[in-house]
Structure 1
Amino acid sequence: MWTGVVCGLLAGAMWGMVFIAPELLSAFSPLEMAVGRYIAYGLIALVLMLPRLGNLLGRLERSDYFALLRHALAGNLIYYMFLAFGVKLAGVAPTSLIIGVLPIAVTLMGRNDHGAVPLRQLAMPLLVTAAGITCINIDVFQHAADAGASMLNTVIGVACATGALLCWSWYTLDNARYLKRNPHYSSAEWSALYGLSTGCISLVVGGIAYAIFHADVTGAAGAASGRDWTLFWICNGVLALGASVIGNHLWNIASRRVPITLSGQLILFETLFALLYGFVYKQQFPRPLEIAAIVLLIAGVTWSMHVHAQEEELSPA
């Protein structure tokens, strides 16, 4: 189990980077960022799986195609567009911490799965986690009001972050269940197939978007808007390799080695790393309520891992 925990932590460190990219690429739309990132992901996945591409594609069944399609949309394209909108309109901290509700959402949704710890044993860790999330949300809206920020933008950003939360909650459960039902695919193989399917869908979406909006994203209009295409592809290449290829592979390993209720808790590492990167990027220290939230979130996850470890020791081999 502890190997899965470490892989989940490292995946969170990789995924936390995605919350900074919309700040760096503020001149680009969320659709452009999503398409760029996942085209790069698809190209890297294609290169990695090229030597065994024929064998892998030959093993795919119809159910695998449907799984890859729904995971590519919910877990990648739609999720990331919602996340990017959230960061642009509400900021890094509120978006990352609304998505930080994932541990509670996934734990509740996966409560009937095999190996799940009874919720009564997780009640206190979940309450501690909820208290941390409450602290950060109070801080976010209080700070937005004090700074005179547009409440409409904040509300729309919160709604987008909530949409990302719903996408990822569903994807996390469906992906974990699918991997456990299909052990004939290794974590690396499924991650590569996932990347290739996402890249293909992104090419189609990007082609349609370019045909409709190309006048707004290229040429003199694009240059005047401050678009730096070199930075765009560097950022998306880093995200594709780090967050998508490496991060997803680590998460697939974690998904197979820990119960679903614990995998929900491990997602919180993404939130903590996103906060850390955000504080470093903005060169500011966390405020008191942010510190309280971070401490409570770490305590809740640690407590939950301890409960799962005890349950595993008591379970028959």
Structure 2
Amino acid sequence: MTARQRTLLGVGNGAAAGALWGLVFLAPQLLADFSAMQLAASRYLVYGLIAALWLAPTWRRLRGRVHGREWRALAWLSLLGNIVYYLLLASAVQWAGGAATSLIVGLLPVVVTLVGARRAGAVPLARLLLPLGLCLAGVVLVGAQAVGQDAPGERATTIAGLLCAFGALASWTAYSLYNTLWLERRADLSGHDWSLLTGVATGALSLLMVVPAFLLAGQAHAPADWLRFWGVATAVALLASVVGNGFWNRASRLLPLTLAGQMIVFETVFALLYGFAWERRLPTGLELAAIGCLITGVLWCVRAHRGHGVAPHE
């Protein structure tokens, strides 16, 4: 496979992952009357169950290749990229809004690029400073609008939401880097198998959230609300966590780390599209400027990567 073919296939997988991951920003808006912990616990209980069932037919083949070291890594990945990330993200969406949250998390390409700039296959950082600056400008614009449009009594909640969004960004950045390193270390395991193993680990950890999320929750809900809740949780778990993660792992193996990080822009774009559709409105002028800065910056970064291939992993 040529470098160009690997790049195109990697970008395609990244776009597919982004389209499915964008759903996680919509779920807290669909289920605004449920807590962030309930959203995270339900999503990852279902994710763990689906992953375990999907993994069962191939478990005999895999069990001799996954040992204590891998399970410890999977537990950390589950905390960083799933449980902690989604607790922070769901809180951010409910407190600061979907647009602001998705654009802040969309800063991930900037952070990952800066961290991965010295890795093999990376484009010289000097060529990326201007596009990364555009991405940063986009986040500054949307943050200014989110705080500026609130009444004084609501600003504390919005600021807390924005801080949660930056926390989600930090958590997902750590996950992205750590996950890529483990995919490189265990190239004998497919991205799909690694995603399912992560799901099993996440499902096990989510059991720790069941009591505080559901048994200690004070708010009661009607049976129809619970049916809607578990329907959304199941859809997000299957589409975003199982299928989306599989696409992402494939993209991570096909692309250099600095370019793989740019693929998160697709999650941002789809999250914005879903959010605006749900709210039945068009983006404001500041939101359009922010979106334009982010997309232009990321596409500029992608163009800078032309001709920078990466050695195949499989």
- On whether the aligned pair clears a TM of 0.5, the verdict is yes
Instruction: Determine if the alignment matches structure 1 residue 84 to structure 2 residue 90.
Output: yes
Instruction: Determine if the alignment matches structure 1 residue 233 to structure 2 residue 230.
Output: yes
Change (3 A) 1:227 1:151: farther
Instruction: Determine if the alignment matches structure 1 residue 182 to structure 2 residue 186.
Output: yes
SS at match of 2:100: helix
How far apart are residue 102 of structure 1 and its match? 0.8
Give 2:28's aligned residue. Answer: 22
Q: Deviation digits for residues 157-182 of structure 1, max 9, x if unmatched?
A: 11111111110010001101110121
Contact 2:96 2:146 in 1 (8 A): no
Q: Deviation digits for residues 114-168 of structure 1, max 9, x if unmatched?
A: 21111011112112222222222222222235xx660110111111111111100
Instruction: Determine if the alignment matches structure 1 residue 104 to structure 2 residue 110.
Output: yes
Q: How many residues align?
A: 304
Choose which of 68, 79, 86 in structure 2 pairs with 1:62: 68
Note the 1:151-190 alignment, pairs <5 A. 151-190=155-194
Instruction: Determine if the alignment matches structure 1 residue 121 to structure 2 residue 127.
Output: yes
Query: Residue type of the partner of 1:182?
Result: R
Partners of 2:308 and 2:66 in 1: how far apart? 36
Contact 2:146 2:158 in 1 (8 A): no
5+ residue gaps, structure 2, are 1-6
Q: Deviation digits for residues 227-265 of structure 1, max 9, x if unmatched?
A: 811011100111011110111000000000111111111
Choose which of 222, 239, 246 in structure 1 pairs with 2:220: 222
Partners of 1:265 and 1:59 in 2: how far apart? 31
Partners of 2:104 and 2:153 in 1: how far apart? 18
Note the 1:244-255 alignment, pairs <5 A. 244-255=241-252
Give 1:298's aligned residue. Answer: 295
Give 1:141's aligned residue. Answer: 147
Give 1:263's aligned residue. Answer: 260
Q: Which moved more, 1:238-247 or 1:121-130?
A: 121-130
Contact 1:27 1:227 in 2 (8 A): no
Partners of 2:207 and 2:143 in 1: how far apart? 37
Partners of 2:113 and 2:186 in 1: how far apart? 22
SS at match of 1:222: coil
Partners of 1:173 and 1:59 in 2: how far apart? 22
Note the 1:275-286 alignment, pairs <5 A. 275-286=272-283
Give 2:137's aligned residue. Answer: 131
How far apart are residue 94 of structure 1 and its match? 1.3
Choose which of 187, 194, 198 in structure 2 pairs with 1:194: 198
Change (3 A) 1:223 1:123: closer
Q: With the length of structure 2 as denominator, give the TM-score of the two structures.
A: 0.92
Partners of 2:165 and 2:254 in 1: how far apart? 28
Contact 1:128 1:296 in 2 (8 A): yes
How far apart are residue 40 of structure 1 and its match? 0.6
For the aligned residue pairs, the C-alpha RMSD in angstroms reads 1.8
Change (3 A) 1:310 1:58: closer
Partners of 2:8 and 2:290 in 1: how far apart? 25
Q: With the length of structure 1 as denominator, give the TM-score of the two structures.
A: 0.91
Query: Residue type of the partner of 2:156?
Result: L
Query: Residue type of the partner of 2:165?
Result: A
